Amino acid sequence: GAREGSKKAAILALLQRKGGATLQELMSATDWQAHSVRGFLSGTLRKKMGLPVESAKREDGKRVYSIIS
């Protein structure tokens, strides 16, 4: 779980919405740099929390991250 109003909660909310979230959207929500967002997705969400985070490219070429339910 994540504390309400935390950056972790913001990222989880973005990843759980339909269509997921782009790296740019995650960076804007947290004020983190790209490498910090990707590290959080990999280290905290995937490894520590065991969440199935999916990464896919959209037709416009942008990468979208989402949590598979």
- pLDDT tens-digit series, residues 19-57: 999 999 999 999 999 999 999 999 999 999 999 999 999
Task: At 8, list the tokens.
Answer: 């972790």
3-state secondary structure (DSSP) of residue 54: strand
pLDDT at 18 over 80: yes
47, with CB counted inside 10 A (0-12, 13-18, 19+), is exposed
Residue count of the chain, please give it.
69
Q: The pTM is what?
A: 0.90
- Cα 47 to Cα 30, 39, 50, 51, 60: the distances in Å are 20, 10, 5, 8, 29
pLDDT of residue 19: 93
pLDDT at 69 over 80: no
- CB contact set of 48 (below 8 Å; sequence gap of 6+): none
pLDDT of residue 5: 92
